[in-house]
Amino acid sequence: MLTLTDAARKELEGFFADREKATVRIYLAPGGCSGPRLALALDEAGENDTRIEQGGFAFCINNELLQQVKSVSIDANYLGFLVTPEVPLPSSGGSACGGCCGGCGSHQ
């Protein structure tokens, strides 16, 4: 249901090193040209959420979103956290290269 890599666990440990641990929400964020994406935020679990303990951290995700994506993998690299669903999210058909609105600076 949830995979937390060592890199992501270490990033979370660093983030919470000088503050109280809080629940980390996995949520659906708008993704511009590429469509929606999964992201992380601090938030308490609600009645429509599944709560998951992993690597010493508490995560929550909306039940309907969890049914849609089946499971989630959380990794980290120099760009930040990478939250990858088992079942890919629907795409808007665009790309992140500026094809739809030139948002990445590739103008013709």
Global pTM? 0.83
Domains of the chain, residue spans: 2-85
> In angstroms, rounded to a whole number, what is the distance separating the alpha carbons of residues 106 and 108?
7
How is 38-84 classified by DSSP, letter by letter?
A: EEEEE----TTEEEEEETTEEEEEEHHHHHHH--EEEEEETTEEEEE
Q: For residue range 87-99, what is the model confidence (pLDDT) as tens digits?
A: 998 875 555 444 4
Give CATH for domain 2-85. 2.60.300.12
Q: For residue range 13-56, what is the model confidence (pLDDT) as tens digits?
A: 999 999 999 999 999 998 777 789 999 999 999 999 999 999 99
Spatial contact of 28 and 89, defined as CB atoms under 8 Å apart: yes
Q: Which residues pair with 5 in a beta bridge?
A: none
